[in-house]
Structures are given as structure tokens and as C-alpha cells.
Chains A and B, each alone.
Chain A
Amino acid sequence: MTMANVVEINEFRKRYRHRDPFAVDGVSFALVPGQVFGLLGPNGAGKSTIVKAIVGLTRPTSGMVRLFDSTPGDAAARAQVGFAPEDPDFPKFLTADEVMEYFARLLGLPSTERRRRIPEALEWANLAGERRQVRRFSKGMKQRLGLAQAILGRPKLLIFDEPTADLDPVGRRDVRNMIAELKAQGTTILLNSHLLSEVELVCDTVAIMVRGRILKEGPVRELVPEGMTLEQVFMELVASSVPPPNLPDFMSDPASQGGLRN
């Protein structure tokens, strides 16, 4: 393994139960410092499983996952990672302030840093002064809190799993700007997203996954031919592996139009 790699994944395979197919089937890639890596794929491609393995939430069935030249189970390695999970949630009886305080303590931040970083991060997330408990938050508010807690430890590696899924256009712009700024600072970023136009804007390298396997991986400028977009490349690749489903028969049957009572 190269010492410089932030993450190295080698022949990673994962299945949750013996009778299930592999959610991830022999995936290998590496993240070097400062790289912005996009992991793309349709639902169920295995992207979130890979991300969870990197932060030690799930174990490989076989293969290897290394994080900062250690294992994901190593708390010291995880201290250098910021993770904004897909569809994030937090202890529901705490306020945003308390969640940030809780996580800042888990990160081992001293009180002076906590007092400085928490208000700034909440201000960025547009949650400053929010006194309601997390259980009263909308999905968008939780997503913004998820992003705020991810950057709290000023990590060397930031993992965003569908960071803009529940955000409005303004929120999406803010996330895009944040990723661009962090990229300029040299932070390594792993981005899972369905929004391919955004991925194309911010990522240096992408890997396109379908059904647990990487179909294509490389620098964006090499993967996307002149005159095409990443979305077109993605659709060409994915369409051949995932044929579009037919509309259910009853939807085109004139006899079954309307409710049963009609």
C-alpha cells in the first residue's frame, strides 16, 4: 500500500446475509490526498456500503479497506474523517447545539475550539439560534446539520453521501461552494451523488458502479468525451446494465382507468 493514500480499497466484497447477493462485489480504488472522488451509480449499486465500510460501520465479507494507513476500526484514523451520511439522523431529543457539542466532544475538541467552531458551523448550516429538538427538524434541516457536524473536526477526508438530496436549490449551491472551497484547501473528498452535473463540476475522478461492481473509473476529463456530459456517459453505461422497467399494464388499460367505484 502506498503511504500517501488516504483510503485504499482492495477487492472489497460485502454481502449482508449468506443467501443475499453481494452488495459490493470486488471493488478496488484508492483516494490520494487532495483528490475529489465521485462515486456514482443507480440506487442499490453499493455506494453507501462502501462508504460505511470506510468509516468502520460495516465490515467487509472479504477484501481490504485501509484508512490513513490503518483500519477503519481505529478511532485515531476515524478522527481524521468527516462523514455526512445519507438521510442523516441524530439523537432526537437533543437540539442542534447539543448534537454539535456531543460530536465535538467525541472528536476530542478542547472547549476553546468547541466554543469557536460550533456557532460558526451552525451559522454556515443556517441553524444558528435553532432551539427545537432534532425530532422536530425537517429533512433539509437534518441534512444541513449532517453537513455541519461532518466539517466540525476539520477533517483531512470528507465523505458526503448524497449531501444535497434533501436540500433546496440555495442549500445545494452552498454545498457546492463548500466542496469547491475545501477542494481548494486540499481536503480529500469522497462524494456519492445522483446529481451528475454537480459531480462533473467538482470531482477530479469518478467511478461508476452498477450492482456492486465498478464499470468505469478514471479522471472526469478522460471519461467524458468532447461534446458529451457525465450524465450521458453514465446513462449509456447504466442503461445497458439496468434496462428501464415497463409501465405496469393497468396504467395503459383503458378499462381500469379511475378508481374501482367508477
Chain B
Amino acid sequence: MGSGPLSVAKFTLLELGRRRLLLVFVVLAILLTAGLGVAPFILPGFNSGDEKTVFILGGISRVDGLAIELCAFAVGMTVINHDLDSGAIVAILAKPVTRVAYALGKLAAAVFLLILLDAVFTAGSILVVEFNGGGHMDVMFWFFAVSAGNAMLLMVLVMILTVYLNNIIAAAIVVAFSFVQSQVSSVQAMVQNHLITERILDGIVNVVYWLVPHPLQSNLERDITISDFNVICRGGCPDLPHPSQYLAQELAHIPGASGTGDIVYWFAYLVVVCVALYLALRRKQV
């Protein structure tokens, strides 16, 4: 990167660091994660390791998963839109900075900040799990890596849309898109686990899966489901005639960890949206 993108990135980070809304999201996530670590010691009903695991991992997947997405939206909604909305972009782009340098600088700042926040949440969550007996480190690591990857794509999509739309409308469109993405992944998991056996439907779902960019997955949700099953069936499962079949059926609805193909697809998708952001900025007349 030349000095143009670096300067844009540096001062964008300085600005983002002063945004109170982002700070509120980060502080809330840290407090809630810390609360998850302390709760098993002060609340009744945590008799086994599996119960703690279900509570803590379930909490982390919800709290930190949501926090990283909220941070991505907060960054994506403001990182370019603030310059456009205030008119600051007129003074910036009148300087000898190319649109590609501006786009690169904005992307670098946003991605760096997101990764930094993700690292903070990962470290906090690891501490919380360690404090409660440890384990599940690899699945936790991949959960946070996957969360950052998915949030990054949503963030860049919001950034693209804010070049031409109001930032709240842009965020709403991306939330709807994210919902469609997760539904496609769930249906595809059902196909892969033979819950959908109709050949034509099977084919359509697979085509849609590779057409609609889908989120990366970790095995965290599956681990939580298995631990939850262990808690329920600790003393046997009189209500379930075939416990292992029941567990298999539950797991069939949950997408498994993404493979190499999915990761390559994610990376290609990231490159495409970054190029789309540059093209949107290049066409923009201010």
C-alpha cells in the first residue's frame, strides 16, 4: 500500500475509535461474556461439566456472534457514509488520492478494526471457558474465525450500499440478505444429511447453495447440541425410544463446519465485493 491508502486507513481508524456506539457494543459484549463466566459459580443448577458447557458455549455463540455482527454493521454503516453524508469526501477526493487508494484505505481500516475486535472477543471467551474448566478450544477458535469472516462480508456489503443508499436502509437490506443466506445453509444441511431426498429439490438446493453466497460454519453449534443431548440423557432418556437417532436427526438440521471449497468460495466472494466497493466509489460523483 502506498501512502494514500495508509493515510486514509490511519485517520479512518482514529475516527472509528472515537465512535461511542461502537464502544458501547464492545463494552456490552465484554460485560456479557464476563457474566457468562461468573454465572455458573453464583447461579444454581450447574451440576455437571456438560451443563456448564451448554450454558457458556451457547451464551458465547449468541452474545459474541451477535456482538461481532453488530460491530461489523456499525463500522460498515459509518466508515464511508460519514464522509459522504457530511460532505467531507469533497475535500478528501479533491486531494491527490485516487479512488482505489481511498477504497483500499477504508477497507483496510474497517477490516483491521473488525479483526481486532474479534481477537478481543476471542481472548475474553477463551478466558471464560478456561475459568470454567477449559476444553473446546479448537471449536471456539474456528467459531470466532468464521464469525469474523462472515461479519467482514456483511460489513463490506453494507459499505457498498451506503455509497448510494441511506445507511439504515443499507443495513436493513444486508440483514435480510443474511437471513436468506442462513436459511439456504440450513436447507442445504438437510439435503446433505438426507432429510431431503427428492432428487429435483436436492439439485435445486445445491445449485442455490452455490449461487447464493453462504456463510462459513463452525462446529460450535453441533458441539452445543451434543452437550445439550448429554445433559438431557444423563440418567437415560425414557421419553426417547431411539436416543442416538434423535441426536442424529437434531444434528442433521445444523450445518457442519465449512470445508476447503466453502473457504475458497468465501475468499472469492470477498474479492468480488471488495472490487464492487471500488467500482461503486469510482462511479460516485460527489
The interface residues of chain B lying within 8 Å CB-to-CB of A75 are 4, 96-98
Give a binary string over A61-99; 1 marks a CB under 8 Å from any B CB, 0 the rest: 000000000000001101101010101111111100010
**Cβ A57 vs Cβ B95 within 8 A:** no
> Within B79-132, which residues are at the interface with A (CB < 8 Å)?
82-83, 86-88, 90-98
Contacting B86 at CB < 8 Å: which of A83, A92, A105? A92
Closest residue of chain B to A14 (Cβ to Cβ) is B285
* Residue from the set B8, B88, B90 with the largest chain A CB neighbour count within 10 Å: B90
Known contacts A98-B14, A102-B7; is A89 also within 8 Å of B87 by CB?
yes
> What residues of A have a CB within 8 angstroms of the CB of B90 in the complex?
52, 57, 85, 88-89
Is A58 an interface residue when CB atoms closer than 8 A count as contact?
yes
Contact residues of B between 55 and 94, Cβ < 8 Å to A: 82-83, 86-88, 90-94
Is A122 close to B, CB under 8 A? no
- CB pair A91 B88 closer than 8 Å: yes
Q: Which of B8, B19, B83, B96 contacts A78 (CB 8 A)?
A: B96
Known A-B contacts: A76-B96, A87-B87, A105-B10. Give 4 more (CB < 8 A).
A78-B96, A91-B86, A103-B92, A106-B95
- Known contacts A52-B286, A75-B96; is-contact A94 B91 (Cβ 8 Å): no
What is the 8 Å Cβ interface bit string for chain B, positions 243-283, against chain A (1 contact, 0 not)?
00000000000000000000000000000000000000000
- Give Cα A149–Cα B82 distance, bound, in whole angstroms: 19
B198 at the interface (CB under 8 A from A): no
Q: Which residues between 8 and 34 of chain B lie within 8 Å of chain A, taking CB atoms? A: 8, 10-12, 14-15, 18-19
Q: What are 29 A-B pairs at a CB distance below 8 A?
A: A52-B286, A55-B94, A56-B94, A57-B94, A57-B285, A58-B285, A58-B286, A59-B285, A78-B94, A78-B95, A83-B91, A85-B91, A88-B90, A89-B88, A91-B82, A91-B86, A91-B88, A91-B92, A92-B88, A93-B19, A94-B14, A94-B15, A98-B14, A102-B10, A103-B91, A103-B92, A105-B3, A105-B7, A106-B96
Contacts of B285 in A (CB 8 A): 16, 52, 57-59
**Residues from chain B with Cβ under 8 Å of A81 in the complex:** 94
A21, CB-defined interface residue at 8 Å: no
Do B15 and A57 have beta carbons less than 8 Å apart?
A: no
A94–B11 touching, CB < 8 Å: yes
How many A-B residue pairs have C-beta atoms within 8 angstroms? Tell me: 89
Bound CA–CA A92/B10 (angstroms): 15
* Residues of A close to B94: CB separation below 8 A: 55-57, 78, 81, 83, 85
Q: A94 vs B11: C-alpha distance in the bound complex, in angstroms?
A: 8
User: What is the CA–CA distance of A108 and B5 in the complex, to the nearest angstrom?
Assistant: 12
B96 with A88: CB separation less than 8 A: no
Chain A residues positioned under 8 Å from B86 (CB to CB): 89-92
Residue of A nearest to B15 (CB): A93
Q: Which residues of B contact A78 (CB under 8 A)?
A: 94-96
Are A90 and B82 touching (Cβ within 8 A)?
no
How many angstroms between the C-alpha atoms of A106 and B88 in the bound complex? 14
Total chain B interface residues with beta-carbon distance under 8 A: 27
Q: For residue B101, which residue of chain A has the nearest CB?
A: A75
Number of interface residues of A (CB under 8 A): 33
> What are the residues of chain B within 8 A of A175 when measuring CB–CB?
none
Please, how many angstroms separate the alpha-carbon atoms of A83 and B95 in the complex?
A: 8
Give B190 Cβ to nearest chain A Cβ, in Å: 47
Residues of chain A within 8 A of B11, CB atoms compared: 91, 94, 98, 101-102
A window 92-140: CB within 8 A of B: 92-94, 98, 101-103, 105-108, 133
Q: How far is the CB of A99 from chain B (nearest CB, A)?
A: 8
Determine the residue in chain A with the shortest Cβ distance to B83.
A91
Contact A106 B14 (CB under 8 A): no
Does any Cβ of B come within 8 Å of A146's Cβ?
yes
Q: Is the CB of B3 within 8 A of A108?
A: yes
Residues of chain B within 8 A of A101, CB atoms compared: 11
- Complex CA gap A91/B105 in Å reads 14
How far is B91's CA from A83's CA once the two chains are assembled, in angstroms? Answer: 7
Q: State A92–B14 Cα separation when bound (angstroms).
A: 11
Q: Are B15 and A91 in contact (CB under 8 A)?
A: yes
User: How far is A146 from B95 in the complex, measured between Cα atoms in Å?
Assistant: 12
State whether A93 touches B88 (Cβ < 8 A): no
Complex contacts, B286 vs chain A, CB 8 Å: 52, 57-58
Bits for A38-57, please: 1 = Cβ < 8 Å to B, else 0.
Answer: 00000000000000100111
Per-residue CB contact flags for chain B residues 151-188 toward chain A (1 = under 8 Å, else 0) read 00000000000000000000000000000000000000
Chain A positions 167-208 with a Cβ under 8 Å from a chain B Cβ: none
With both chains docked as a complex, state the minimum distance between the C-beta of A157 and any C-beta of chain B, in angstroms.
12
A106 contact set on B, CB distance < 8 A: 4, 7-8, 92, 95-97
B-chain residues with CB within 8 Å of residue A87 when the two chains form the complex? 87
Output the least CB separation between B72 and chain A (Å). Answer: 19
Question: Contacting A107 at CB < 8 Å: which of B88, B93, B96, B98?
Answer: B96
